[in-house]
Amino acid sequence: MTTATVAHRRLGRYAYVGFCACAFVFLVAPILVIVPLSFNAEPYFTFTEGMLRLDADAWSLRWYRSIVEDEQWGRALINSLVIGIAATLLATTLGTVAALGLANPAMPGRRAAMGILISPMITPVIIVAVGVFFFYSNLGLAQTHVGLILAHAALGAPFVVITVTATLAGFDRTLMRAAASLGAGALTRFRRVQLPLIAPGVFSGGLFAFAASFDEVVVVLLMGGLDQRTIPRQMWAGIREQISPTILAVATLLIVFAVLVLFTVEWLRRRSSEAAV
Amino acid sequence: MPAIKEARSSRLRAAGLTLPLIAFIAVTFIAPLGNLLTRSVYDAEVADILPETLAALAKWDGSGTPSEATFATMASELLRARDERTLGRAATRINRIQSGLRSVIVKTPRRLGRDVGTEPPNGGTWQDALLAIDEDWGETATWLAIREAGQRFTARHFLNAVDLETRADGSSGAMPETRRIYVPLYLRTLWVSIGVTLLCLVIGYPIAHAIVHAGPRWSTTLLVLVLVPFWTSLLVRTTAWIVLLQNQGVVNDILVALGIVADDERIAMIYNMTGTFVAMTHVLLPFMVLPLYSVMRSIPARHMDAAASLGATPMQAFRRVYWPQTLPGVGAGALLVFILAIGYYITPALVGGQSGQLISNMIAYHMQTSLNWGLAAALAAILLLAVIGLYVLYDRVVGIDRMRLG
């Protein structure tokens, strides 16, 4: 190998590493910028000189205080939790049961069924929101919690179906036969053998469904009323009207929440892959 | 034959388990979409508000003005619609066929007054009475527009959604250049989606490659750097780009501080197409990286070693050995990003400004502001058909059951 090609390759390597570094910066920079700015003592969206000097007076918790003091955010949190948890329970129950059927090799029309069950995840949310708004208005469900719970459950169910089907792919079916030979009925087999083993997959599917509901704003925007203002809806209003650093404080809390969810899901994944082995 | 019986009961059980969710999705999701499709071609509002007038107009030959009897029916139905407070809805719909008619229709019953009976006022004819209120009642076009608006089934919204118009003689043709809005908007949505997909591929490919080949210590850290944005709320990430890119934002501040840009010439990087591009690429990037990552992870390292030992340069080995093996991941990621991109709403709405709006934003506009729900439904139906087409393609190329999360 000539020195020229060695130099050439080293240059290529540097270019590759440099490009990757930039790409990763692009990925995380927005998130890294929001966190420190949420502690700004001034109502600006940029680093003040004091902040850069690490002057203690330039940093403050005032925007976090204003979240706690503003009862709108409290109400939004309650709405988000009520709608999110109810939708998650519905989606997880129906999704897990459906995944059990889909994982069965005998399932007729498997591909078509899967296509229907996954479709809410792929359909543009604005279309879902428009359709749901018309349809639920006719049923008197627009501007109610029930309407939003049903819509969010439909949007979250595909996540449960996908994760639980994936977990079931690694499930050893001979265990069920062994339980049956020991005299366990179908329900006992499911409850005592299968469910504990696929529980991590069910739980992470549920987390996906909850996150989908907790982050959903378009359906809420079209169909929700004043009483159904959720956290994302409140943020939307904040960004559209007068963007105050309170938004950044809320955003930081949501980032912390995202990191917690991420680590929980990864932990569950590890557990379920250990269980599959 | 117990084996056959058992196989059948197993099939029934599997189908029975999926049935509850299929039924749930059918009611909460597919029925609303069906309803939406219906609305794009069906609207009975005007037909229900002015039934007798429309029945009379159905017999009219479409030239000159209708008979005195039709004028009388029109007047009485307008008065009734005013009392039932449905007049505005009918007026809005007729106005969409021919603009300017809204005010004519709303003011007519008002001018006729409260205490007008079944006889025309001032002893004249109803035709005189209406013409005295507005000369438009003497125009053939006015009556044609009312007749058109009274159609329960109409292709008007779909024609409108692809920038075609129905002329008074019933034929249809392209709208004048200046009034074509939707086709250019669909094309813009298409170009933005293709652009964002390519950007995601160009940025995401090296990212996925780096995660797989960075060695055990770095690999997990780098994967977390992709997963944190993936899990972070869409609104949070969009807010972050506003903070970074706005005029008084972090990036402009840095550029000014470094002396690259003068303080009064800060670059407009947001509330335009650039904002839409940057923020959408960032939001959709994980959907490209994750499928690529799972495909690259399964490519044995010895393939590249073998290529090198056979004398291939790294570039040749990449092009002839590595890249072809990653194509399933490229296809999966690209299709997923593209499908998500063409329906994008939130990010363009918040950071797109005027020039960065996409078709979804137009649908929302007709839903919330112009209240032209039939047109919104038609625009949505066209978008929906495109997405279903892509979804079927995704199923053929990748397989829906191979979709993985995170």
pLDDT digits (tens, 9 = 90+) for B256-308: 888 888 888 888 888 999 999 999 999 999 999 998 998 898 888 888 889 88
* Co-location of B205 and B138 in the same domain: no
* Co-location of B278 and B346 in the same domain: yes
Determine the Cα–Cα distance for residues B76 and B84; give it in Å rounded to an integer: 12
**Mean pLDDT to the nearest integer, B3-7:** 75
Q: What are the sequence ranges of the domains in chain A?
A: 3-58, 73-276
Distance from CA of B157 to the nearest CA of A (A): 16
Distance from CA of A176 to the nearest CA of B (A): 14
* Co-location of B62 and B135 in the same domain: yes
pLDDT tens profile A216-225: 999 999 998 8
* Co-location of B73 and B188 in the same domain: no
Contact with chain A for residue B30, Cβ under 8 A:
yes
**Chain B residue with Cα closest to A136:** B32
Residue A81 makes CB contacts below 8 A (sequence gap 6+) with none
B204 contacts on A by Cβ (under 8 Å): 23
Residue A158 has pLDDT above 90, yes or no: yes
Q: Decide if B199 is inside a domain.
A: yes
* Co-location of B355 and B257 in the same domain: yes
* Co-location of B256 and B390 in the same domain: yes
Q: How does DSSP classify residue B115?
A: T
Residue B315: phi and psi, rounded to 5, are -65, -45
Q: Decide if B373 is inside a domain.
A: yes
pLDDT for residue A276: 52
Contact with chain A for residue B5, Cβ under 8 A:
no
Confidence of residue B32 (pLDDT cuts 50, 70, 90): very high
Give, in order, the Cα–Cα distances in Å from A81 to each of A93, A215, B163, B290.
Answer: 18, 11, 44, 29
Of B226, B241, B383, the CB nearest to A124: B383
pLDDT for residue A55: 81
Q: Decide if B372 is inside a domain.
A: yes
Q: Decide if B13 is inside a domain.
A: no
Please state, as a whole number, how many other Cβ atoms lie within 10 Å of the Cβ of residue B405: 15
Is pLDDT larger for residue A49 or for residue B401? A49
Residue B164: phi and psi, rounded to 5, are -110, 155
Geometric angle at alpha carbon B260, from B258 and B266, rounded to 5°: 105
Confidence of residue A277 (pLDDT cuts 50, 70, 90): very low
* B164 three-class SS: strand
pLDDT tens profile B316-344: 888 999 999 998 889 889 988 998 999 89
Q: Which stretch of B45-49, B144-148, B394-398 has the lowest confidence by average pLDDT?
A: B394-398
pLDDT for residue A266: 85
Cβ contact B222–A24 (<8 Å): yes
* Co-location of B224 and B339 in the same domain: yes
* Co-location of B68 and B187 in the same domain: no
Using the structure block, give the residue that is written with the tokens 């947001």: B270
* Co-location of B237 and B283 in the same domain: yes
Asked whether the beta carbons of B94 and B146 are under 8 A apart, the reply is yes
* Co-location of B324 and B385 in the same domain: yes
Chain B segment 203-232 residues within 8 A of A by beta carbon are 203-204, 206-207, 209-210, 222, 224-232
Of B206, B222, B350, the CB nearest to A19: B206
B15 contacts on A by Cβ (under 8 Å): 101, 107-109
Cβ contact B25–A154 (<8 Å): yes
pLDDT for residue A241: 79
pLDDT for residue A274: 67
pLDDT for residue B2: 61
The CATH number of A73-276 is 1.10.3720.10
A37 contacts on B by Cβ (under 8 Å): 243
Q: Decide if B20 is inside a domain.
A: no
Is pLDDT larger for residue B234 or for residue B4? B234
Distance from CA of B255 to the nearest CA of A (A): 13
Beta strands in B201-360 (DSSP E): none
**Mean pLDDT to the nearest integer, B126-143:** 89
Structural domain total, chain B: 2
Q: Decide if B94 is inside a domain.
A: yes
Side chain identity at residue B229, one-letter code: P
Contact with chain A for residue B369, Cβ under 8 A:
no
* Co-location of B77 and B222 in the same domain: no
B28 contacts on A by Cβ (under 8 Å): 132, 150-151, 153-154
**Chain B residue with Cα closest to A109:** B15
* Co-location of B323 and B205 in the same domain: yes
Contact with chain A for residue B166, Cβ under 8 A:
no
pLDDT for residue A275: 57
Give, in order, the Cα–Cα distances in Å from B405 to each of A28, A75, A265, B220, B297.
Answer: 20, 31, 11, 17, 15
Distance from CA of A174 to the nearest CA of B (A): 16
Confidence of residue A42 (pLDDT cuts 50, 70, 90): confident
pLDDT for residue A84: 96
Asked whether the beta carbons of A150 and A116 are under 8 A apart, the reply is no
B340 contacts on A by Cβ (under 8 Å): 122
Q: Which two tokens stand for residue A134?
A: 């018309």
Confidence of residue B64 (pLDDT cuts 50, 70, 90): confident
Q: Decide if B15 is inside a domain.
A: no
Domain range for B112:
45-152
Residue-by-residue DSSP string for A123-174: S-HHHHHHHHHHHHHHTT-TTSHHHHHHHHHHHHHHHHHHHHHHHHHT--TH
Cβ contact A239–B238 (<8 Å): yes
**Chain B residue with Cα closest to A261:** B231
Examine the fold and report which residue of B113, B132, B152 is the final residue of a domain before the chain moves on: B152
Q: Decide if B147 is inside a domain.
A: yes
CATH number at residue B299: 1.10.3720.10
Q: Which two tokens stand for residue B74?
A: 């029109």
Cβ contact B228–A162 (<8 Å): no
